[in-house]
A = this chain, B = another copy of it.
């Protein structure tokens, strides 16, 4: 079974939701038969690279609230994260474009290191004192290397703004086609969706339900085709 998770690195509920999903997955009896794929979703796709601002200032501006109110919201999020055993810095965080992060996640997917990298990026954005956005490209290269990627490969992606750009946009288009207008968004075997950072119990139920409904294919094109089976191969007639 395959679980696709659309998320953005700048999305606190994605950080929390991933932990809740993983809690359900660890307890799921068929966990070894579950493959997880991370998909791109930018919450703020028009933000330019290098346009980095404090999270609290952005929140205050966006919701027309005071910084104290924004801080209270972050404190609440921090408590939700803590309840999942996650570190969460409730002040001093930056916000910036996540496009390069998503491009790097597609490189990581190709190299079989996607799950490592997304965990490292979430941690770098939400838990670490250093800013993920304001130190420039080398910070991202450093994190990519930590995830097991090659520094040269990572630098090549950053140097070419078209690298994996279509892959990011294809993920986003697909999210829209599937009806997702927010993240995190979980899709199980293209059969069930779970929207938002729901409790682990909801993910557990969705896993069980989707697993139980894995069914033989409705339509197989066959008709005496050329194939090999345990008893040997069809012999072609010329």
Contact = CB atoms under 8 A, between A and B. Distances in A.
Interface string A225-238: 11111101111111
Given A112-B110, A221-B198, A43 B228 contact: yes
Interface of A is mostly: mixed
Contacts of A195: 220-222, 225, 227
Contact of A217 (B110, B187, B219, B221): B187
Given A12-B228, A190-B189, A233-B13, A166 B32 contact: yes
Interface in A204-224: 206, 214, 216-222
Interface in A121-173: 166, 170
Interface string A77-109: 101100000000000000000000000000001
A88 to B, nearest CB: 12
B170 A190 contact: no
Contacts of A29: none
B73 A226 contact: no
Nearest to A58: B232
A200 interface: no
Nearest to A187: B217
B220 A11 contact: no
A13 B17 CA distance: 44
Given A170-B33, A178-B216, A228-B14, A222 B196 contact: yes
Contacts of A192: 217-221
Nearest 4 pairs between A and B by C-beta? A196-B225, A182-B229, A193-B220, A196-B227
Interface of A: 2, 8, 11-14, 16-17, 32-33, 43-44, 59, 62-63, 73, 76-77, 79-80, 109-112, 166, 170, 174, 177-179, 181-185, 187, 189-198, 202, 206, 214, 216-222, 225-230, 232-238
